[in-house]
Copies of this chain bind each other. A is one copy, B any other.
Amino acid sequence: MHNFVFHIPTKILFGQGTLPALGPETAAWGRKALLVYGRASLRRNGLHTLIVESLQSSGVEVVEHGGVRANPLLSHAREGVAKAKSARVEVIVAAGGGSVIDTAKAIAAGALVEHDLWKFFIGKKGIKGALPLLTVPTVAASGSEMNSGMVLTNDQTREKLGFGHRLLFPKVSILDPTTTYTLSREYTAYGAIDALCHAVEFYLSTSEPETSIQDRLMEGLIENAMHACNRCQATPCDYAARADLMWTAALALSGLTAAGLGRVGMPMHLIEHSLSALFDVAHGAGLSVVMLGWLRAHRERCASRIAQLGRRIFACSEPSEQQLAKRTLILLEQWLHSIGAPTTLNHLGISAADIPALSENTCAQARLWRLHDYTPQRVAAILSLCL
């Protein structure tokens, strides 16, 4: 086991009926809040009213910053920073999916500095402070509600970059599974794929040979992401299933899974970010495709790990590790297909002709993530297995 620091300072309030705690919890951190949210759904499902009422009844003044979109944009986060500064807000509240929470993190850090916040993303400036952040996730996917990471797309340069800093952990996150009841079948699947993929990336990218306890935790999360997704799709208002998926997604990128694994990469996310940056693909949809391509490209090299996953997740067996790894990929693809996720670039409207541009875009990020072995040639080879 590699040395590690494990520290999740975020307080999680989990369950139905927990939303009214938002006001008092926020008031403990500030009296004027920037409320960051998305476009239509928060108003449509009545959550916006509940949140504003809870905040105001605790004496917290609300400044609105709606309009975050999927694959959130740097320009919109910059507007949020300007608003936070001019209104002198003391606390940020994010209500929505991973895009909303990530935008709120960027604003929380950007509001305390004079320079442009993109400098954090390209490594030109370090984070020294951040406004306190509270979140109300409404999608089970990114785990941003219980981690210190964020991802933004620079709409000028078409770079989608992510990074993390311990000061970006939310202070409090309120996870009410009923807020995810209205998620479509499609986006429920994309969320589950995102959560599953976080664990799969760590599972396959560790250089640590002894990962006994982490393996069991990751396998449990992977299996649950699949199982809970199936149940949510069958019965969108199945509380137990929504709760299971929500908690699984929060844990999958919380620091629990990577503890002890040493330096782990997230090459599937790396490549997917280019699909999102250049083609505005939904993150989970892109991951579905890229994960399969990456696994095909590394099937032989990672055969024993993929085989162990298959044995434990799908309870399948084959005469050899190579055959079992192959079978695991087939079963994973079948599952992705069954939940309505795209499994080829063609499904996303992307063709072989787009691969060079995607590979170039990926490698610009790869350098920032220190994944130096991801050359344009290697990325192109992976993407060609996604066709």
Contact = CB atoms under 8 A, between A and B. Distances in A.
Interface of A: 1-18, 177, 210, 212-213, 216-217, 219-221, 223-224, 227-228, 239-240, 243-244, 247-248, 251, 256, 259-260
A15 B3 CA distance: 4
Nearest to A256: B256
Given A9-B9, A216-B223, A223-B216, A240 B14 contact: no
Nearest to A14: B4
Contact of A12 (B5, B212, B217): B5
B260 A14 contact: yes
Contacts of A6: 11-12, 14
A61 to B, nearest CB: 27
A10 to B, nearest CB: 8
Nearest to A13: B5
24 contacts: A1-B177, A1-B244, A1-B247, A2-B15, A3-B14, A3-B15, A4-B12, A5-B12, A6-B14, A7-B10, A7-B11, A7-B12, A212-B227, A212-B228, A212-B240, A212-B244, A213-B224, A213-B228, A213-B247, A216-B220, A217-B220, A243-B260, A247-B260, A256-B256
B14 A5 contact: yes
Given A210-B244, A240-B210, A14 B216 contact: no
A7 B21 CA distance: 15
Contacts of A10: 7
Contacts of A5: 11-14
Contacts of A217: 217, 220
Contact of A220 (B220, B228, B244, B259): B220
Contacts of A4: 12, 14-15
Contact of A3 (B16, B212, B220, B228): B16
Contacts of A8: 8
A9 B169 CA distance: 12
A223 B220 CA distance: 13
B212 A224 contact: yes
Contacts of A14: 1, 3-6, 259-260
A242 to B, nearest CB: 9
Contact of A213 (B17, B221, B260): B221
Contacts of A260: 14, 243, 247
A247 B259 contact: yes
A176 B225 CA distance: 33
A221 B12 CA distance: 22
Nearest to A11: B7
Nearest to A176: B3
Which residue among A13, A14, A248, A251 has the maximum number of chain B CB atoms within 10 Å of its CB?
A14
Which residue among A13, A220, A221 has the maximum number of chain B CB atoms within 10 Å of its CB?
A220
Across the A-B interface, give the 5 residue pairs with the lowest CB-CB distance, nearest first. Answer: A3-B15, A216-B220, A210-B240, A1-B243, A6-B12
A259 to B, nearest CB: 7
Contacts of A247: 1, 213, 259-260
Given A210-B244, A212-B224, A224-B213, A17 B1 contact: no
A239 B259 CA distance: 16
Contacts of A248: 213
Nearest to A248: B213
Given A7-B12, A12-B6, A14-B259, A216 B213 contact: no
A176 B278 CA distance: 46
A6 B14 CA distance: 8
Contacts of A13: 3, 5
Nearest to A220: B216
